[in-house]
């Protein structure tokens, strides 16, 4: 089995056409999916653990890469994960992925785009059952993403799609979605105007 550093060099730093789909296929063919899970988990955990923990032997393969490379690793792993999810949706429920936990602690804003797209699609297709506690935790986390002015619009669009699903079973989500509607309605871009109209129709039909 290759080391995590070897995995990164083989899959994450391959600059080729159709990067994410190509590496999705290679990872599935070569049965290295769980290493992708591990590295994605490690990269996201690295941003929230203590300085002492970062210096441990376990995280050495990330420490030696430097801050810019570490964020690239997280983003590219998340991008490949998205491609694998749309190819094989059941992977989201694999306990080794810890997808809910990753959504709760991720700091990488590019990874948020892929996570929110995965989560919204899984909720819409009823592919990702959540406990009430998990749902409420995600509501709090994703509300933070949506209200952060530094988060890209694409992330906020997918987050709103998540809340359309959350509000079917959560009063908290119904309160948040009203706040998000007001927030997104302030000086909206032409693209957001289109989205707001689409969401209005979708929610009216519920």
Each residue's pLDDT, cut to its tens digit, for the chain (206 residues) gives 899 999 999 999 877 788 999 999 999 999 999 999 999 999 999 999 999 999 999 999 999 999 999 999 999 999 999 999 999 999 998 999 999 999 999 999 999 999 999 999 999 999 999 999 999 999 999 999 999 999 999 999 999 999 999 999 999 999 999 999 999 999 999 999 999 999 999 888 87
The pTM (predicted TM-score) of the whole model is 0.95
What kind and span of H or E run contains 91? none
Q: How far apart are CA 24 and CA 44, in angstroms?
A: 20
**Two structure tokens written together for 97:** 């992925």
117 alpha-carbon distance from chain centroid: 7
Q: How far apart are CA 149 and CA 90, in angstroms?
A: 33
With beta carbons less than 8 A apart as the criterion, state whether 85 and 123 touch: no
């Amino acid at each position: 089995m290759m080391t995590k550093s070897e995995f990164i060099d083989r899959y994450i730093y391959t600059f080729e056409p159709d990067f994410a789909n190509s590496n999705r296929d290679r990872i599935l063919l070569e049965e290295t999916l769980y290493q992708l899970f591990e590295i994605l988990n490690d990269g996201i955990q690295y941003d929230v653990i203590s300085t002492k923990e970062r210096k441990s032997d376990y995280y050495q393969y990330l420490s030696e890469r430097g801050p810019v490379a570490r964020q690239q690793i997280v983003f590219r792993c998340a991008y490949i994960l998205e491609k694998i999810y749309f190819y094989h949706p059941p992977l989201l429920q694999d306990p080794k992925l810890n997808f809910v936990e990753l959504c709760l602690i991720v700091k990488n804003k590019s990874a948020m785009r892929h996570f929110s797209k995965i989560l919204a699609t899984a909720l819409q297709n009823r592919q990702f059952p959540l406990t009430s506690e998990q749902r409420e935790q995600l509501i709090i986390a994703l509300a933070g993403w949506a209200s952060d002015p530094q988060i890209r619009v694409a992330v906020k669009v997918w987050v709103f799609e998540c809340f359309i699903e959350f509000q079917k079973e959560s009063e908290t989500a119904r309160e948040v979605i009203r706040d998000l509607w007001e927030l997104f309605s302030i000086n909206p871009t032409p693209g957001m105007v289109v989205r707001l109209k689409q969401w209005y129709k979708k929610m009216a039909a519920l």
